[in-house]
A and B are shown apart, each in its own frame.
Chain A
């Protein structure tokens, strides 16, 4: 109970301080709107924000699925051949350390200038790729060495070793990788929309840009709040999913 109460009290105190400071100092609303003003902007535009949040979420989830398929397949291939791993790893790392914004123009060109939504999905998938790839690869290699010795002792075939030992051993690291990737996919979807723009369905990044261009700062905050809620909700969902699936995996 205390653990829930403590952050609530802190947040309430911060918001109250913010509200009072805005009113006492008469801060202009375009510079820093008071929480009450942000709340009003939120109430006024929530149907729009909801639609945009859905657009961002569906983009992120689609990117996550694409990323998962590619990363898992690649990790599996790489785990079966150490030469391939040596070859692929530096490329994967390079891809990971290159800022997303920097490759956005290229991806936008390749996706076709008329299809920014494809570019956004592609870019979000790039960001989500690394944690899944890394988690899958770590998982496939995290076999209990003594259990592997038993498989040797019992004359297991390479196929049996893969299906009955390495794949099930990989499950926890794989789940962890997907959890991290889901959060990154949302960030990727937002950053990509900033750079590549929106197609038919406009995401939360677009709402922020739009409000910013009109100097409707309260609306910027409202969209930010929606984004934060989306991020926290997705994280909580993935964590719950991870816990449930792990419980199935180890039977408790």
Chain B
């Protein structure tokens, strides 16, 4: 099995002392991995390394997914305020040289998939927080990435919107089959969405352990109330508690 992206003995030094590593992490094609841990443990840094947006101080990052095959969704929607939802979603394709017409058609399709068919011409300022994140998700998926990186994408949203979006991400992942890595503070969300939950600990950021999550790949609506879910959530919580204790 070739990893779609991997970190090998990766370390990052920052001038302000916040550091990462050494960290080893390999991503299998099509798997969904959650990175959980307290603030400042290097989750976002690990994500930026996987995206190729940052270089490690030591160690190697390999990426089978090239430029244009990796997408990132940040905590804020990061949509350009001067562009309509359609133009925002078409942007990655247009930057890559796709004709405006094709790019816009693909954007419309992507927006329809995330349930924004009625808001194609809306500007970000006219969208609710959840709708804006959906548009950002559509923009990330329009390039049909092999690697989808989500940096606390739902952190600013209310619980109901969070859950709806989590289901949307899972449905879209099942259809497009990218490898997904997402960062979250929320254990429940991590266990619900991921095949594998990686627990990180701060100072310097390291991987404290990981838990494989059993259960159907497409989560049933009542997955949160099942025994495997409860067992996994408990395992991750224990790991997280141990990691935080060790750090403190």
Contact = CB atoms under 8 A, between A and B. Distances in A.
Interface of A: 144, 146-147, 149-156, 160, 164-165, 168, 171, 249-252
Given A152-B53, A153-B51, A155-B68, A146 B126 contact: no
Interface stretch (B69-77, B167-175, B187-195, B215-223): B69-77
Contacts of B126: 251-252
B99 interface: no
B72 A155 contact: no
Nearest to A152: B53
A146 B82 contact: no
Contact of B78 (A146, A154, A250, A251): A146
A150 B78 contact: yes
B80 A168 contact: yes
Given A149-B72, A250-B123, A252-B125, A155 B95 contact: yes
Interface in B63-112: 67-68, 70-72, 74, 76, 78, 80-82, 84, 91-92, 95-96
Contacts of A152: 53
B166 to A, nearest CB: 21
B54 to A, nearest CB: 9
Nearest to A249: B82
A249 B82 CA distance: 5
Contacts of B92: 150, 154
A153 B70 contact: yes
B221 to A, nearest CB: 33
Nearest to B87: A164
Given A250-B123, A250-B125, A154 B95 contact: yes
A148 to B, nearest CB: 10
Contacts of A160: 95
A245 to B, nearest CB: 11
B74 A156 contact: no
Q: Which of A146, A171, A249 has the most CB of B within 10 A?
A: A146
5 contacts: A149-B72, A154-B91, A155-B68, A155-B96, A251-B126
Contacts of B84: 251
A155 B92 CA distance: 9
B68 A250 contact: no
Contacts of A251: 81-82, 84, 122-123, 125-126
A88 B91 CA distance: 34
Contact of B80 (A147, A153, A154, A155): A147
Contact of B95 (A146, A151, A249): A151
Contacts of A150: 72, 78, 92
- The 4 A-B residue pairs with the shortest CB-CB distance, nearest first, are A251-B123, A146-B78, A154-B95, A146-B74
A90 to B, nearest CB: 28
A252 B70 CA distance: 32
Contacts of A154: 67-68, 91-92, 95-96, 143
Nearest to A168: B82
A152 B122 CA distance: 25
Contacts of A144: 78
Interface string B50-67: 011100000000000001
A154 to B, nearest CB: 5
Q: Which of B67, B76, B82, B122 has the most CB of A within 10 A?
A: B82
Contact of A171 (B51, B68, B82): B82
A249 B68 CA distance: 28
A164 B88 CA distance: 11
A154 B91 CA distance: 9
B67 A153 contact: yes
Contacts of B67: 153-155
Nearest to A156: B95
A75 B50 CA distance: 36
Given A251-B81, A251-B122, A252-B123, 7 more contacts: A150-B72, A151-B95, A153-B70, A154-B95, A154-B143, A249-B81, A251-B126
A153 B125 contact: no
B92 to A, nearest CB: 5
A153 B71 contact: yes
A147 B95 CA distance: 13
Nearest to A171: B82
Contacts of B82: 168, 171, 249-251
Contacts of B122: 251
A164 B91 contact: yes
Nearest to B93: A154
Q: Which of A160, A164, A171 has the most CB of B within 10 A?
A: A164
A142 to B, nearest CB: 12
Interface in B2-17: none
